[in-house]
Structure 1
Amino acid sequence: MSVVGVDFGTLNTVIAVARNRGVDVITNEVSNRATPSLVGFGPKSRYLGEPAKTQEISNLKNTVGSLKRLAGRVLSDPDVQIEQQFVSAPLVDINGQVGAEVTYMGKKEKYTSTQLVSMFLSKVKATASAELKLPVSDMVMSVPAWFTDIQRRALMDAAEIAGLKLLRLMNDTTAAALGYGITKTDLPTGDEKPRRVAFVDIGHTNYSCSIVEFKKGELTVKSTAYDRHFGGRDFDKALVDHFAEEFQTKYKIDIKSNGKAMVRVGAAAEKLKKILSANQQAPLNIESLMNDVDVQSMMKREELEALVEPLLQRAHVPLEQALAEAKLTKEDIDIIELVGGCTRVPALKERIQAFFGKTLSFTLNQDEAIARGCAFSCAILSPVFRVRDFAIHDIVNYPIEFTWEKSPDIPDEDTSLTVFNKGNVMPSTKILTFYRKEAFNLEAKYAKPELLPGKINPWIGQFTVKNVKADSKDDFMICKLKARLNLHGILNVESGYYVEDVEIEEPIPEEKEGEKKDDKKDPDAMDAEPTKTRKVKKQVRKGDLPIISGTSSLDQTKKDAAAEQESAMIMEDKLVADTEEKKNELETYIYEMRNKIDDTYAEFANEDEKTKLKAKLEASEDWLYDEGEDATKAVYVAKMDEIRAVAGPIVQRYFDKLEEERAAQRAIEEAEAQKKREMAEAARAAAMAQEAAAAKDEEMTDADAAKPDEIVEPESK
């Protein structure tokens, strides 16, 4: 079972996996630690991730980016109109949801933002599976804290279409906070003052600041503030606009009239910005930008900072807002932790440090901290890993209210109630009580639409409560509804039931003074006294009430159809990849055989066989670069088999000769080994004989030493 965390970014996506030795960020098929968040469409297959980035300039109108920021949106949303500046494919309306119109396999096709996200998540799933060598299903994914219910549901639907189970949609800064806190062993405990950390996350498009309190084994988000249109791409855009004006004057070319030129200048501007983060000045050179014109320029860091000064002047706003909502001052913050690629910009770091008046901290990996935090969260939620318990208390970012129809029997009834206030802990459950004699509807929506991003519909869902009826005395049914804002930040009315007031007797708890007096009584006398009781009314659950929910989530039929379409497209992509592989194999085989026929295989073929094989190779090569340029997988395999049929006998003789040589070599090696064994055996036998002889000599010496000295007596005369 897999444990995967995904930082789904506007520009790039980072994937982290939990393993026995910890959390690792994995690389994709070209060994990059971040995968471009792009989906492209071609004449034969799709391009997902790296391949989409490779063909982006040559296939602009069929490449879609900003996937995350399109999810759950409508075409008329002003935020979507901003995104169209950064998405080269045309955006269109598809049944009330924004999507893209592209040319795929020679036909004009329209795909909703949910489908486009699901396509990219299929790529994420495949990348993680290839690394882990396991099927991937469970995943935790990050989202900006300002995402609404409809946007979160769109991502949940996209994940389900891609065959993934999202265990949690986690706010970006909360994920970074978890990655920070779970590895710390010195967090305050008990009644100690909590450690307060400001997490400042500035990525490609979004600037967020969360104030988080840490204690041993838990984190509590106190506030989150954000600027949804402040990030790396805004710095890039300022540079592109500057160079567009410069090139218009200097080279008389209008890059804004040429999509490819704009993308190339955008890529060069991004690279220039990164160089200027570490250097005082940097050049920009682009060959044949448009109309065969080469462009050159030079930029100093001071010039870049002057260009983005309007942005830098907004840098303090989310910080002030986060402190105000947390009811804290700058002095209350212990650590300011920065994450996100854009926090490398020196001018930004200076503004943030000047605001807090404290040294900034960079203990987390700026590009990978959020993905790691998501992987930790996935490990906590997964039964596979044993992870140190760490509680996460996130907050509600927008107030949510319920409205309902007024009951004709209760003329002065309120018809709305704010159930989840901004700043409430999430996940959270509330029980709503209604007095009704018939089925009724209630609606959930955001209480302050002006706080929502762009022009997102504040409506969340409608819920119809069934099987409500008056009792035998024509009295109200007391209906209880369980409303839950779950750990994804998604609202549902999970269940309903009705209760009845029942009169029951319960013992009266004795007063404390009475208890003191009773202590002096005889225990037997106390037992003899009857227990005092009182009658009270209590609500007892009597049965369930079915609830019909209507939300922005796709219905199961649509999800199943989209999943089936996605599976078919995956198979098509795989077939195209396999076909390309077979084509490359055939090309490689032709070149390999041509080189070997006059070299390696020369002595194993007669002239007639050589001529025949060369003719076959030449014919196959001519076919491959002519009509065989766009053949099927089966045709490439058949062509390979044709060449092998001609070359087979020659290659077989070569391998037979190799086998003979190997057999002869093995025989020589075996003989040598046998000779060595015999010599070793002989040496061992000689040594043993020598040892035996030495032992015998020693015995004889011992025996001689044991004989008594002979006494020679003189002869008698």
Structure 2
Amino acid sequence: MSTPFGLDFGNSTSVLAVAKNGGIDIVVNEVSNRSTPSLVGFGPKNRYLGETAKTKETSNIKNTVGNLKRIIGLNYDEHDHDFKEEAKFATSKLVKLDDGKVGAQVTLADERKTFSAVQLSGMLFKKMKNTVETEIKSPITDVCIAVPVWYSEEQRYSVADAARVANMNPVRIVNDVTAAGVSYGVFKTDLPEGDAKPRIVAFVDIGHSDYTCSIMAFKKGEMKVLATAYDKHFGGRDFDRAITERLADEFLTKYKIDIRSNPKAYNRILAASEKLKKVLSANTTAPISVESVMDDIDVTSQMTREELEELVQPLLKRVTVPILHALKQAKLKAEDIDFVEIIGGTTRIPTLKKSISDAFGKPLSSTLNQDEAIAKGAAFICAIHSPTIRVRPFKFEDIHPNSVTYTWDQQVEDEDRLEVFPSNSTFPSTKMITLYRTDNFTMGAEYTDVKQIPSKHISKDIASWEITGVKVPEGQDSIPVKMKLRCDPSGFHTIEDAYTLEDIIVKEAIPLPDDAPEDAEVQYKEVKKTVKKDNLKIEAHTFSLDEAKLNELIEAENDMFAQDKLVAETEDRKNALEEYIYTLRSKLEGDYSEFASDEEKEKLTDMLMKTEDWLYDEGDDSTKAKYIAKYEELASLGNIIKGRYMANEEEKRQALRAKEEAAKAAEMAGKMAAEREAKAKADAEAGKKDSPKEPQQEVDADGDIDLD
């Protein structure tokens, strides 16, 4: 049975949660952190994923890929605003793939390789899946992944494909702030019920790279998203970059070094700037000091909170825009909002919190854990889809940020397009439409609210479907085709069903009047009815990877995973051999000394020295099998000597145990004898005091008894 898994796919870090033991738990990673860096690195032999990639990021900067959340589904277009923004934050080389998407070029095992964003995300997801399975000791199959509300259909399909590459089943792709809203609604116990006015809550989520404001209405057991607005290029990384650019100018003047010309140096100052920002969230002044940034030069500086606020004024001016858009979309005023919940790490910045509070004209709430609310909500949503786990009833509806129109090839004189899901309409939802067709035809779906999609990286096209099996009856110009159009819970637009209709004549009984006699004859009339005729075949063409390509990526991921595992096991065996050499040498000179002959000592010492020389020379980069063979070669003699030592130690333990047991037995016997003697003495004393004196008897020689 798969444990429901919720994944908050973050740009800087990702948070993992599972539904188990009647609650939602955050899963810690291998170093006990409650979030995992969203980084994938590549080395001379294997990959570095998550925490390991973060540890090696500075030294392996050009082979470490981040910003996966931003580049997945992104078109490679040097003139596109989104691409130019992401290129600024990329440390690895971004390249154009055959399908026009963004990929990353890195060096793995001394070989130049190019990976798509789907592949890279799949690598990270597989690492997180294994982290969860290791921690909870339970298999993971189903996952609900939280993504930004501004993700297009193509990006949602790409994330779902990445989950499949990681051998997981994406039961749902959910908007991240919606997941946080679910977390709020499920665990709040004081929500209004019945006909009471719903509680209106605004959620402001500012993370590492984007900013979303959603307004939701809550009642007990239900939630409805009223509005969502966003600024997808506003986040913590923009604050970090602003600080770094300021320091870059300062260091150029002060130390005559240009960190912009050195990617490693720039990245180190960027990391230091992030720490500086966090320190200033709780303090008024913070220092920065980085040793040997470049050219063996150490740098120092400091910044006050006032200086930071002045530095980020251009960013702060953008804070109110999504809030005002969301209020307008929901047809509400700021005073209509009951609570303002803040989530996302960047909302900890004091000046940012003040700007949000001023925009709503009320204090902010932090009922939810700012870093974990989204992952917990996603885990609950995944549990809803589980056939084996019972969860408390909770209904929620999301909204379309963009309008979606279905189109078809015009065959008769009618319109060739229809807006089926307007912007701000709720989903999941289903619509039925009827078209008159003369033959097989093609349907398409596209975004039509173009003002909401200013970026070229979002494809206007969503999907297309080939509808076949249309047969027009003889004598008719066309036949009606009825179709069930759906936007499913993940926001994917589909055609679930299609069939032709036909008119038939049926006889219907004419109702008799109330005063009709009992034996009155029932009259019938002919009525034309439209009924289902033939089911049509639907062949969908979406952004999802075809089965052959998906299997190719899964196979490649499994191969790289096996290689990573082999490298890790090889390193473990190498470390075990090194440790055994030092331990055995120490023991041979100490505890094992009297249990080995001079000949054995000489032979084993020579073996240890040769193995050590081999280990630090040609054996520094050897195979797992050779390390095991070398270990066993040493152990073949070392274990004999160890066996003698252990046997002697066991004899000592047995002798000591026997001695201790004998001493305990003697002590026990002494105690028992003393107790018996004391008891006898006590009984004798008691007999003298309590018993009358009896006459003494003497027996004469003749056998008579004389009494004194």
Q: TM-score, normalised by structure 2?
A: 0.92
Q: Which runs of 5+ in 2 are unaligned?
A: 693-708
Change (3 A) 1:108 1:527: farther
Distance 1:164 1:568 in 2: 17
> 1:181-260 counterparts in 2 under 5 A?
181-260=185-264
Q: 1:662 aligns with which of 653, 661, 673?
A: 653
- Is contact 1:10–1:69 with CA below 8 Å preserved after alignment? yes
Distance 1:216 1:529 in 2: 57
Change (3 A) 1:615 1:435: same
Q: 1:79 aligns with which of 78, 82, 93?
A: 82
Deviation (angstroms), 1:320: 0.4
Deviation (angstroms), 1:671: 5.0
Distance 1:369 1:223 in 2: 19
Distance 2:528 2:649 in 1: 96
Change (3 A) 1:350 1:533: farther
Question: In structure 1, what is the equivalent of residue 92 of structure 2?
Answer: 89
Matched letter for residue 468 of structure 1: V
Aligned length: 686
> 1:280-679 counterparts in 2 under 5 A?
280-407=284-411, 410-411=412-413, 413-452=414-453, 454-455=455-456, 456-506=458-508, 535-668=526-659, 671=662
| Worse-matched range after superposition: 477-486 or 292-301 | 477-486
Change (3 A) 1:417 1:293: same
Distance 1:160 1:687 in 2: 83
Distance 2:508 2:54 in 1: 72
Change (3 A) 1:628 1:211: same
Change (3 A) 1:84 1:652: same
Distance 2:677 2:319 in 1: 91
Question: In structure 1, what is the equivalent of residue 4 of structure 2?
Answer: 3
Change (3 A) 1:614 1:366: same
- Is contact 2:440–2:469 with CA below 8 Å preserved after alignment? yes
Deviation (angstroms), 1:243: 0.7
| Worse-matched range after superposition: 48-57 or 70-79 | 70-79
- Is contact 1:4–1:138 with CA below 8 Å preserved after alignment? yes
Distance 1:612 1:279 in 2: 64
- Is contact 2:479–2:501 with CA below 8 Å preserved after alignment? yes
Distance 1:186 1:444 in 2: 42
Distance 1:678 1:539 in 2: 105
Residue 543 of structure 1 aligns to a residue whose secondary structure is strand
Matched letter for residue 613 of structure 2: D
Change (3 A) 1:246 1:540: same
Residue 179 of structure 1 aligns to a residue whose secondary structure is helix
Matched letter for residue 17 of structure 1: V
Q: Deviations over 1:491-528 (max 9, x none)?
A: 12222212222233456789xxx9xxx6xx7xxx7765
Question: In structure 1, what is the equivalent of residue 178 of structure 2?
Answer: 174
Distance 1:67 1:499 in 2: 47
Question: In structure 1, what is the equivalent of residue 129 of structure 2?
Answer: 125
Matched letter for residue 588 of structure 1: E
| Worse-matched range after superposition: 481-490 or 216-225 | 481-490
Matched letter for residue 421 of structure 2: F
Change (3 A) 1:177 1:528: farther
Matched letter for residue 613 of structure 1: L
Deviation (angstroms), 1:432: 2.3
> Is 1:278 aligned with 2:267?
no
Distance 1:531 1:152 in 2: 60
Question: In structure 1, what is the equivalent of residue 118 of structure 2?
Answer: 114
Q: Deviations over 1:400-454 (max 9, x none)?
A: 00111111xx23x101111111111111111221111210111111012342262
- Is contact 1:436–1:469 with CA below 8 Å preserved after alignment? no
Question: In structure 2, what is the equivalent of residue 710 of structure 1?
Answer: none
Residue 176 of structure 1 aligns to a residue whose secondary structure is helix
Distance 2:37 2:258 in 1: 28
Distance 1:590 1:443 in 2: 69
Deviation (angstroms), 1:363: 1.0
Residue 383 of structure 2 aligns to a residue whose secondary structure is helix
Deviation (angstroms), 1:615: 2.0
Change (3 A) 1:596 1:337: same
Deviation (angstroms), 1:543: 2.5
Matched letter for residue 487 of structure 2: L
Question: In structure 1, what is the equivalent of residue 695 of structure 2?
Answer: none
Distance 1:614 1:459 in 2: 73
Deviation (angstroms), 1:673: 7.0
Change (3 A) 1:600 1:428: same
Q: Deviations over 1:509-567 (max 9, x none)?
A: 89xxx9xxx6xx7xxx7765667766543322222100111111110110011101111
Matched letter for residue 84 of structure 1: A
Q: Deviations over 1:591-616 (max 9, x none)?
A: 11122111121221233322222222
| Worse-matched range after superposition: 60-69 or 429-438 | 429-438
Distance 2:111 2:577 in 1: 30
Deviation (angstroms), 1:112: 0.7
Distance 2:433 2:621 in 1: 64
- Is contact 1:146–1:453 with CA below 8 Å preserved after alignment? no
- Is contact 2:103–2:116 with CA below 8 Å preserved after alignment? yes
| Worse-matched range after superposition: 655-664 or 288-297 | 655-664
- Is contact 2:24–2:376 with CA below 8 Å preserved after alignment? yes
Q: Percent identity?
A: 48
Deviation (angstroms), 1:142: 0.5
- Is contact 1:75–1:81 with CA below 8 Å preserved after alignment? no
| Worse-matched range after superposition: 422-431 or 207-216 | 422-431
Distance 1:608 1:61 in 2: 54
Distance 1:457 1:24 in 2: 37
- Is contact 2:15–2:372 with CA below 8 Å preserved after alignment? yes
Deviation (angstroms), 1:80: 2.3
Question: In structure 2, what is the equivalent of residue 711 of structure 1?
Answer: none
| Worse-matched range after superposition: 487-496 or 681-690 | 681-690
Deviation (angstroms), 1:165: 0.8
Change (3 A) 1:322 1:692: farther
Distance 1:274 1:528 in 2: 91
Question: In structure 2, what is the equivalent of residue 714 of structure 1?
Answer: none
Residue 226 of structure 2 aligns to a residue whose secondary structure is strand
Deviation (angstroms), 1:279: 0.6
- Is contact 2:286–2:303 with CA below 8 Å preserved after alignment? yes
Q: Deviations over 1:128-158 (max 9, x none)?
A: 1111111211111100011110000001111
Matched letter for residue 580 of structure 1: E
Distance 1:78 1:316 in 2: 22
Deviation (angstroms), 1:662: 3.0
Deviation (angstroms), 1:192: 0.6
Deviation (angstroms), 1:649: 1.9
Distance 1:475 1:66 in 2: 55
> 1:126-165 counterparts in 2 under 5 A?
126-165=130-169
Q: Which runs of 5+ in 1 are unaligned?
A: 702-717
- Is contact 2:423–2:449 with CA below 8 Å preserved after alignment? no
Deviation (angstroms), 1:692: 13
Change (3 A) 1:180 1:467: same
- Is contact 1:428–1:485 with CA below 8 Å preserved after alignment? yes
